[in-house]
């Protein structure tokens, strides 16, 4: 990163720097989190895989919604983006019943105000994808909110636009991924507005960190699904009897290698490109 860049925000595994009044640099590290804890061991190239996947999806969905991506740097892990006025919403679309959607459903038969059919099992495909926004909690977990609460945050008209666009983005990506053996169970978007008030997709898009990726050939509702990318890490952590509080355990070499292979496999299946071609020319995923 340029030594003039000012650090503006940190996520668990990414950093944002300011490049100028209207441009940001997003840098994806090789850190991995599991059970909400960042582990001390990195997965080589994970940041490049996620950056390349995001760039691929931004290009693939550019007719559905404008996005913030300006340029992928030659390092393959840094992207220059337009700086936006971010909407105060986590925009989640669920095609399958997992995570907090499954928890809400078990308690109340609904999630974020969507009444769901009786008798659904964990990981079942929903009759149709649903938009389940949540608020960005400063500390701890995000809170699912209903349409009225979301509309109160961004306005009724903007809410309807975000819902329509988020559902269409999910439909396009989930169909593409399913044809390549990966189910996108759910996904999280962040949107912003440019200076004209145009809705723009920001953050990362359809990466395994912002989405649940499931291997389609192992899909079996009625139980939690294996994670396409993190299952070796989870299984290893479970085998240790670790209590899931920080610090997490170091990962052995074979778990690192197996996990790296899964990330690269997801990249290659979804983009149709060899990962080595991405390393040689990261902007290859934009065509
Ligand atoms: C922004 N976040 C929260 C990286 C992601 N294009 C943008 N313009 C203005 N602000 C943001 C973006 C973007 N993307 C988004 N923070 C600032 C998500 N972060 C958390 C840290 O890791």
The CA distance from 41 to 252, in Å, is 9
pLDDT of residue 150: 96
Do 181 and 266 contact (CB within 8 A), yes or no? no
pLDDT of residue 237: 98
pLDDT over 70, % of the chain: 98
Secondary structure letter of residue 285 according to DSSP = G
Atom 13 in ligand 1: residue holding the nearest Cα: 203
C-beta of 209 in contact with ligand 1 (< 6 A): no
CB neighbour list of residue 61: distance below 8 Å, 6 or more residues apart: 67, 169, 172, 173, 201, 205
Locate 55 and state its tokens: 């760039």
Cα-to-centroid distance, 121 and ligand 1 (Å): 35
C-beta of 11 in contact with ligand 1 (< 6 A): yes
Do 267 and 275 contact (CB within 8 A), yes or no? yes
C-beta of 24 in contact with ligand 1 (< 6 A): yes
> Using alpha carbons only, how large is the chain's radius of gyration in Å?
19
Distance of CA 253 to the CA centre of its chain: 26
Low-confidence ranges of the chain (pLDDT < 50): none
pLDDT of residue 2: 61
pLDDT of residue 136: 77
Q: Among candidates 96, 165, 98, 159, which has minimal Cα distance to 128?
A: 96
Cα-to-centroid distance, 79 and ligand 1 (Å): 12
Cα-to-centroid distance, 203 and ligand 1 (Å): 5
Secondary structure letter of residue 90 according to DSSP = B
Atom 22 in ligand 1: residue holding the nearest Cα: 11
pTM: 0.96
């Amino acid at each position: 990163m340029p030594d003039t860049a000012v650090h503006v925000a940190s996520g668990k595994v990414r950093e944002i720097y300011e490049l100028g009044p209207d441009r940001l640099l997003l840098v994806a590290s090789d850190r991995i989190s599991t059970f909400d804890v960042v582990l001390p061991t990195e997965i080589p190239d994970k940041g490049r895989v996620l950056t390349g996947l995001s760039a691929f999806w931004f290009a693939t969905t550019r007719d559905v919604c404008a996005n913030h991506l300006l340029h992928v740097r030659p390092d393959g892990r840094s992207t220059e983006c337009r700086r936006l006025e971010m909407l105060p919403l986590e925009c989640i679309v669920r095609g399958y019943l997992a995570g907090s959607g499954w928890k809400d459903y078990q308690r109340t038969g609904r999630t974020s105000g969507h009444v769901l059919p009786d008798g659904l099992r964990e990981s079942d495909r929903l009759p149709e994808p649903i938009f389940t926004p949540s608020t960005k909690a400063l500390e701890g977990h995000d809170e699912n909110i209903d349409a009225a609460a979301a509309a109160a945050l961004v306005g009724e008209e903007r809410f309807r636009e975000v819902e329509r666009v988020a559902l269409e983005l999910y439909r396009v990506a989930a169909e593409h991924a399913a044809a390549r053996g990966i189910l996108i169970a759910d996904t999280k978007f962040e949107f912003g507005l440019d200076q004209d008030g145009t809705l723009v997709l920001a953050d990362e898009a359809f990466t395994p960190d912002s989405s649940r990726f499931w291997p389609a050939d192992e899909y079996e509702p009625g139980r939690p699904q294996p994670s396409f990318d993190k299952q070796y890490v989870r299984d290893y952590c479970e085998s240790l009897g670790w209590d899931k509080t920080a610090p997490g355990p170091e990962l052995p070499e074979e778990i690192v290698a197996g996990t790296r292979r899964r990330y690269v496999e997801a990249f290659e299946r979804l983009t149709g490109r060899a990962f080595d071609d991405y390393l040689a020319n990261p902007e290859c995923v934009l065509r």
